[in-house]
């Protein structure tokens, strides 16, 4: 890591400012959810149904991503990732999700419940086709690329932390953080193309019950889901063991192994960006307090 990169403050911290705009969506989401429960405003309902509210907050960061793509080469492939390795990283992410969700489910905090529900097909399309691309662009593309000047460990940890807290759900923050570590590693070592693909696969599994419901209807959903998840569990277990034997996972969590230079870089990042960090965490904490009736 070159020290000159850390001390280079000639460029504005545009990515962090864009992240503040992106996170502001959490506050807006609370507003729009509360408003549509007591109004017939078709514009607000359309925005909510089709996730247009979040997409609007993504416009500035997407513009920045497109504008800087030639310079940053976001989609550059550093190393090709074969199908077996993709599945082993999927198995690791899926295992992390199951394990940490079981632990976090012990926490009994009731969130806000809204009368107006989105059409199931819009949730499926957004979760599988749109969210993985947007979130990888925001957190692995723009944010992690910017943070690399503080060292790759800082870039992976901070971008994954922001990815975790962006999930607007107490139960998902910790699992999303660790899954973010895997996605960040895949993006850094291989390409953001592969982290997008892995993210899509994870979201397909996470929304499997909705997909089966749409395709087969409520009568066949439970037996079919049982077969799918048992098969998936066995498959993931096999590939998880393969990943362990190949030592695929050894480097993934080296992000937590910080040497003296890494720790100094982390401190420099915190000192240089304390205002941005406070604003982002303030937005997230406020949204959680309102969403879980703690305020």
The answer to whether residue 107 scores a pLDDT higher than 70 is no
What does the pLDDT look like over 11-58, one tens digit per residue? 567 889 999 999 988 888 777 777 666 666 677 777 777 777 788 889
User: What pLDDT, on a 0 to 100 scale, did the predictor assign at position 12?
Assistant: 62
Give the structural domain span for 62.
Answer: 3-291
pLDDT score for 113: 56
| The pair of three-digit structure tokens given for residue 289, joined into one six-digit string | 């307090």
Instruction: Examine the pLDDT at 212 and tell me if it is beyond 90.
Output: no
Could you give the C-alpha distances from 175 to 93, 164, 178, 200, in angstroms and in order?
Answer: 9, 7, 5, 16
Task: Choose among 153, 183, 188: nearest CA to 77.
Answer: 188
Name the residue among 131, 133, 134, 156 with its Cα closest to residue 146.
Answer: 156
Choose the weakest-confidence range: 6-10, 202-206, 252-256, 290-294: 6-10
Confidence of residue 1 (pLDDT cuts 50, 70, 90): very low
The whole-number pLDDT of residue 218 equals: 65
Q: In whole angstroms, what is the distance from residue 236 CA to residue 163 CA? A: 24
pLDDT score, position 64? 93
Lowest mean pLDDT among 21-35, 150-164, 212-226, 258-272: 212-226
Task: Give the residue from 53, 5, 6 showing the smallest Cα distance to 26.
Answer: 53
Residue 111 has pLDDT above 90, yes or no: no
Structural domain count, the chain: 1
pLDDT higher than 60, residue 134:
yes
CB of 65 closer than 8 Å to CB of 143: no
For the ranges 4-8, 82-86, 173-177, 223-227, which has the lowest average pLDDT?
4-8
Q: Mean per-residue pLDDT for 130-140?
A: 95
pLDDT of residue 3: 42
Q: What is the mean pLDDT of the chain?
A: 84
Average pLDDT over residues 188-199: 96
- pLDDT reported for residue 208: 85
pLDDT grade for 9, boundaries at 50, 70 and 90: very low
CB count, 10 Å around CB of 114?
Answer: 12
3-state secondary structure of 125: helix
Task: Say what the pLDDT of residue 171 is.
Answer: 82
């Amino acid at each position: 890591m070159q020290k000159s990169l850390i001390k280079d403050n000639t460029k504005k911290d545009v990515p962090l400012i864009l992240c503040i705009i992106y996170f502001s969506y959490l506050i807006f989401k609370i507003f729009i959810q509360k408003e549509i429960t007591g109004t017939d405003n078709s514009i607000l309902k359309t925005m909510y149904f089709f996730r247009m509210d979040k997409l609007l907050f993504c416009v500035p960061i997407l513009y920045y991503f497109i504008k800087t793509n030639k310079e940053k080469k976001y989609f550059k492939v550093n190393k090709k990732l074969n199908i077996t390795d993709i599945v082993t990283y999927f198995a690791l992410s899926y295992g992390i999700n199951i394990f940490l969700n079981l632990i976090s489910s012990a926490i009994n905090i009731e969130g806000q419940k809204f009368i107006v529900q989105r059409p199931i097909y819009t949730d499926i399309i957004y979760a599988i086709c749109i969210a993985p691309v947007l979130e990888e662009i925001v957190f692995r593309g723009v944010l992690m690329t910017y943070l690399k000047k503080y060292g790759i460990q800082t870039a992976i940890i901070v971008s994954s932390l922001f990815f975790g807290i962006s999930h607007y759900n107490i139960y998902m923050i910790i699992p999303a953080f660790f899954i973010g570590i895997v996605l960040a590693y895949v993006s850094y070592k291989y390409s953001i193309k592969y982290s997008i693909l892995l993210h899509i696969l994870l979201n397909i599994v996470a929304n499997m019950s909705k997909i089966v419901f749409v395709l087969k209807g409520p009568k066949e959903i439970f037996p079919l889901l049982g077969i799918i998840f048992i098969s998936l569990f066995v498959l993931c277990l096999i590939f998880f063991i393969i990943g362990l034997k190949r030592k695929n996972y050894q480097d993934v969590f080296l992000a937590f192994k910080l040497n003296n230079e890494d720790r100094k870089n982390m401190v420099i990042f915190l000192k240089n960006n304390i205002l941005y960090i406070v604003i982002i965490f303030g937005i997230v904490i406020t949204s959680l307090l309102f969403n879980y009736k703690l305020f």
